[in-house]
Structure 1
Amino acid sequence: MNHTKPIIAIDLGTSNSLVGIFENGQSKLIPNAYGKLLTPSAIALDENGQILIGNAALELRYTGQPVLTSFKRLMGTAKRLSLRDQSFSAVELSSLILKSLKEDVEHALETDIDEAVITVPAYFNDIQRQATISAAELAGLKVSRLINEPTAAALAYGLGQTDDSCFLIFDLGGGTFDVSVVELFDGVIEVRASAGDNYLGGDDFVQLLMKQFWKQHASDFNYEANVIPPEIEIALKAKAQLALHTLSKEQEALLNFKWQDTEINFQIHQNDFAKWAEALLLRLRRPLERALRDARIRPDQVDQVIMVGGATRMPIVRKMVTKLFGRFPSTSVQPDEAIVRGACVQAGLKAKDQALKEIVLTDVCPFSLGIAVGDDGQFSPILERNIVIPASRVNSYYAMHKGQRNIEVKIYQGEHRLCKENVFLGELNVALPPNDDQLSIDVRFSYNPNGILDVDVHVPATGENLQKVLINHQSVMSEQQISEARQQLESLKIHPRDNLLNKSLMLRAERLYSEHTGDMRSSIGEKIQYFSQILEQQDERQIRESRTHFENFLNEVEDLQLFDDY
């Protein structure tokens, strides 16, 4: 019997995160404390200063209290976000989500977990990938593999396919957009090309609804129309997300927003939404066209378009894809689960699971990597985008002047001719020996399957070798910084997992109490009081029974509320 610890698979998403394992020849997803597979990537502090993660944190949005979401977009930056008197980096916040998912698996499998496969957007740069690894280390996890999100989705889709085919993964999540062209032949899943946009996702469509609402109704709340106040923004975002979910199923939706004594009903029609979103839809087309062009494939040569990521449920997105490819996209894969299921397969491959011995996966580097040359900082690519990885290439460069004593190797990622328009990743100062000649250096870039870049510089004149794993950026943490941050995070009061569901239900009930009046408010108040008394008695069996009744009651209240809105 195999007693080794399983390698877990994590889809660390902008809006929601999921975790699973590969077991008995298939992906198995693990539910959280609420019994749900999706854990909202949300963090808040309750009135006792305890950290709330997931659904419980989201409940606080309606109260105007700060709730941190979408921090994945800040990975690889030095920006810090505040919760009351505490501040956190995106790495620290992500580590809290990862730790919560790790504990969910440990609770379900009754074993310690210390290794994970984690998904990242294909277009995440070296710094963002290093930040993801740091977040995992803070959560007590060793990253056995970072896998690009569309590549993971390709694994999930390709696992059950027997015929040779060419398919396109269209991955639109909460905060990022990736597209990959994939070929399947003889058990090989080959990523031909990837492209994307790290700052385009469902969040942007939510922001669009918020801006339209505020533009038309700011004066009703006695505010200026040019900016949404922070205290209103959190609550308005929650309502805009609800409206967007409705628009994914219906022709129109109602954005009902109440603040203090003012309540506004904002009707949104699918046609209006499509007009507002034209600029965002255009941004979706560009990476699509680039990936097809790089793969040298026409839209009519794509056998299937696989839509993954929750934001692909929007009809305007599906309509755009249908128009571009002349056929309806496939709905055979659950959009929210495709990426984590593929990551589970990758975890199975890492663990050398016998059920997966026939599968071979190849991936690509989705962007060009190179250095600055010349006085005007022109970009000289060493690894060009969509090269198969792992990849290693070397180029030779010469000093610009005779007698030059050093060369600054500045490393960039991007596609623009000028380095200033690309992403700066780091630099290396190479000393040259005294010499009247224009000496040369050899610069080797090695890009591994985790998407991490190593840079080696060789000076032929001296035989000296310099090596750099790109970790000099301010947002990438050293081992000492990780150790210090882990101690700091361990001192935080995190709400106990076992009580999280009770806390979430109480917060939800308090929200519904504030939203209602009259008899309904009285009924909710009575139920809150009764459930509070049950919790005080600390009888687990009684709490479970009462919790089921309490949750059913709250579901009925929300269903009635939804019906009243229409």
Structure 2
Amino acid sequence: MIVGIDLGTTHSLSGISSPDGGRLFPNPHGDLLTPSVISVDGDSVLVGQAACDRLVSHPEQSIAGFKRWMGTSRETRLGDRTFRPEELSALVLRALVADAEAATGQTVTEAVISVPAYFSDAQRKATRAAGELAGIRVERLINEPTAAALAYGLQQREGEGRFLVLDLGGGTFDVSILELFDGVVEVHASAGDNFLGGEDFLELLVETFARDSAVDMAQLARREAGQLRRRLEAAKRALTGHQQAEIQLQIDGRSVQWQIEEARFAQLAEPLMQRMRTPIERAMRDARLTPDKLDEIVLVGGATRMPMVSRLVTRMFGRLPLRHINPDQTVALGATVAAGLKARDEHLSEVILTDVCPYTLGTQVTKQSGDGQSRGGFFHPIIQRNSAVPVSREDEFYPVSEGQRQLMIEVYQGESPLVANNIKLGALQLAIDTKLPKAQNGVTVRFTYDINGLLQVEARVHASGQRHELVLEQNPGLLDAGQIAERLAALSALKIHPRDQQQNLALVARAERIYEEHLHHRERVQDWLMQFRTALDSQDLRLIADHRGRLAEALQSIEAEG
């Protein structure tokens, strides 16, 4: 079975294509959204809501937001183990796969996973590696804005159309301009910011609260900081439908009450909104479009619920955006369509999906300045960003000086005129004929970039006709095949609780968090926890279910009090 997965920064979802549309699978708690959070409890790993609550009660053993580190070699220590971003993502994927298998009774063998359109080559490869570590095959990645277009059924519209898709998730912001015609979804331009999302707006509230309330965040215990962030996240969500939000909590040894108006929040967030404008304008320039040439504007991602986002779009384009599908579910529903297309489901009409290379690819060159001096370190583009893939481009290069015996073709990815500010992907060293004048000692270099993100570099020396080739399947800092196999074995040894225990684990974690947050309810919560643990020890399923329901109601009553 092939599933579609939205592997998000804050939440993740899975589903399959069905004759009635995309079908998303609930987790053990009955929710479609699974928090992208991992927590280690001794020799066990918790995923989702239970781990989310432990961010407050056990912050040293819990982690969220690791999608932002994909494509890097960063390691996070949780308990006695360290985890790479691919491994943390793999644990989330394993939970989603378990939910899919529990809902269908079938074995999941493959997945189509959505990624931000502006994900780099290394980040895409890391996502595939996470799939391998989760025990599933990932042959296809789909850009999140393209998935959103499929979810809205834009490919089924009559005639042609151009659409701007804005995807503001928990950790990333994507812009894509798509054209649809005759069953073809063609991407014309992509832009974005891999470090702009709902988390940054939350961080802005944290900084504002700390400034207004004279709280030194650096001196707070991690538990108190986690409690504060959770309360401010609730306030941020409240501002989507109310003019102001208020929180009250015990922090830094005192009781603090704080409120913020939506108008002030929008004013404070103006620098973040400007960061949103920049990739939108860049994508429009790259696609050579004016606002009046767009047929629709689509908003995707939970953070687009903030009123300031709709206001920005309305000011820029003079119209209201489409947002009638739940923005948290749009990408996942589109991923299920892509999974159905890959499985050749009969109920789906054939759709051709094209894509673009999100970054410019090129090499380093030396240039001669006006004073006759040679200066190196300049970036020479060969494949420009937003070129439709697959794409192949070539250019000619020559030695800098007479008698030069080697020519180094260094491969870079980025948009800066200087290679020092771009990402080096690899290098190809060539021997050249020093007997010839440098004007005849040239090399033709061809870059070929395919739909799977594989870059092939080919160099042909003019004098000898000799060909050299470099295939960039691996980026610095990523796991190779041997390391993936080794880490897969290590992950397989971890104890992950079965689905039927997840509700109990999550409820215990929630009770522990509420015990941490509500000082005046501690004795009651402790008594309730003791009774629930006694029920768990009895292994009487009916008794456990009864205690679970009563404990959940009791905890809900405390949280409702604020």
* CA offsets 1:56-91 (integer angstroms, 9 cap, x no match): 011112225222111111111122112133221111
TM-score by length of 2: 0.92
Alignment-derived partner of residue 454 in structure 2: 452
Indicate yes or no: 2:358 matched with 1:366.
yes
| Partner AA of 1:537 in structure 2 | S
Alignment-derived partner of residue 215 in structure 1: 211
Indicate yes or no: 2:197 matched with 1:195.
no
Residues 358 and 146 of structure 1: is their aligned pair in 2 closer, same or farther, counting only changes over 3 Å?
closer
CA contact (8 A) 2:220 2:252 kept: no
Indicate yes or no: 2:471 matched with 1:469.
yes
CA contact (8 A) 2:45 2:496 kept: yes
CA contact (8 A) 1:131 1:475 kept: no
- Of 129, 133, 156, the match for 2:128: 133
Alignment-derived partner of residue 441 in structure 1: 443
Indicate yes or no: 2:45 matched with 1:51.
yes
Residues 147 and 450 of structure 1: is their aligned pair in 2 closer, same or farther, counting only changes over 3 Å?
farther
Pairing of 1:324-363 with structure 2 (within 5 A): 324-363=316-355
Residues 552 and 228 of structure 1: is their aligned pair in 2 closer, same or farther, counting only changes over 3 Å?
closer
Cα distance, 1:231 vs structure 2: 5.1
> What CA distance in whole angstroms lies between the structure 1 residues aligned with 2:429 and 2:257?
60
- Of 59, 62, 72, the match for 1:65: 59
CA contact (8 A) 1:383 1:445 kept: yes
- Of 260, 274, 277, the match for 2:266: 274
Alignment-derived partner of residue 89 in structure 1: 84
Cα distance, 1:260 vs structure 2: 6.0
Deviates more, 1:299-308 or 1:440-449: 440-449
| Partner AA of 1:267 in structure 2 | Q
Residues 327 and 371 of structure 1: is their aligned pair in 2 closer, same or farther, counting only changes over 3 Å?
same
Alignment-derived partner of residue 21 in structure 1: 16
Indicate yes or no: 2:555 matched with 1:554.
yes
Alignment-derived partner of residue 372 in structure 2: none
**What is the number of equivalent residue pairs in this alignment?**
550
Pairing of 1:511-522 with structure 2 (within 5 A): 511-516=513-518, 521=522
Alignment-derived partner of residue 173 in structure 2: 177
SS of corresponding position for 2:59: coil
Cα distance, 1:320 vs structure 2: 1.1
Residues 549 and 119 of structure 1: is their aligned pair in 2 closer, same or farther, counting only changes over 3 Å?
same
* CA offsets 1:333-380 (integer angstroms, 9 cap, x no match): 221111111111111121122233342222222221111111422221
> What CA distance in whole angstroms lies between the structure 2 residues aligned with 1:442 and 1:551?
68
Alignment-derived partner of residue 533 in structure 1: 534
| Partner AA of 2:411 in structure 1 | I
Residues 20 and 457 of structure 1: is their aligned pair in 2 closer, same or farther, counting only changes over 3 Å?
farther
Cα distance, 1:146 vs structure 2: 1.1
- Of 114, 118, 136, the match for 1:119: 114
SS of corresponding position for 1:77: coil
> What CA distance in whole angstroms lies between the structure 1 residues aligned with 2:73 and 2:193?
20
* CA offsets 1:426-484 (integer angstroms, 9 cap, x no match): 22223335543432223222222233323233334444433333245332111111111
Residues 268 and 462 of structure 1: is their aligned pair in 2 closer, same or farther, counting only changes over 3 Å?
same
Q: Which runs of 5+ in 1 are unaligned?
A: 1-5, 562-566
Cα distance, 1:172 vs structure 2: 0.4
SS of corresponding position for 1:305: strand
> What CA distance in whole angstroms lies between the structure 1 residues aligned with 2:249 and 2:451?
47
CA contact (8 A) 1:426 1:472 kept: no
Alignment-derived partner of residue 390 in structure 2: 390
Cα distance, 1:542 vs structure 2: 3.7
> What CA distance in whole angstroms lies between the structure 2 residues aligned with 1:257 and 1:20?
38
Cα distance, 1:15 vs structure 2: 0.8
Cα distance, 1:235 vs structure 2: 3.0
Alignment-derived partner of residue 417 in structure 2: 417
Deviates more, 1:371-380 or 1:202-211: 371-380
SS of corresponding position for 1:354: coil
Deviates more, 1:545-554 or 1:21-30: 545-554
> What CA distance in whole angstroms lies between the structure 1 residues aligned with 2:222 and 2:477?
26
* CA offsets 1:261-313 (integer angstroms, 9 cap, x no match): 32312211111111211110000000011111111221232222111011111
| Partner AA of 2:48 in structure 1 | G
Residues 74 and 354 of structure 1: is their aligned pair in 2 closer, same or farther, counting only changes over 3 Å?
same
Alignment-derived partner of residue 370 in structure 2: none
> What CA distance in whole angstroms lies between the structure 2 residues aligned with 1:162 and 1:211?
48
Cα distance, 1:406 vs structure 2: 2.1
Q: Which runs of 5+ in 2 are unaligned?
A: 367-374
| Partner AA of 1:309 in structure 2 | G
Residues 343 and 172 of structure 1: is their aligned pair in 2 closer, same or farther, counting only changes over 3 Å?
same
> What CA distance in whole angstroms lies between the structure 2 residues aligned with 1:138 and 1:306?
34
> What CA distance in whole angstroms lies between the structure 1 residues aligned with 2:281 and 2:178?
14
CA contact (8 A) 2:412 2:419 kept: yes
Alignment-derived partner of residue 505 in structure 2: 503
SS of corresponding position for 2:496: coil
| Partner AA of 2:305 in structure 1 | R
> What CA distance in whole angstroms lies between the structure 2 residues aligned with 1:229 and 1:123?
35
> What CA distance in whole angstroms lies between the structure 2 residues aligned with 1:181 and 1:69?
30
Cα distance, 1:164 vs structure 2: 2.9
Indicate yes or no: 2:257 matched with 1:265.
yes
CA contact (8 A) 2:402 2:434 kept: no
Indicate yes or no: 2:186 matched with 1:206.
no
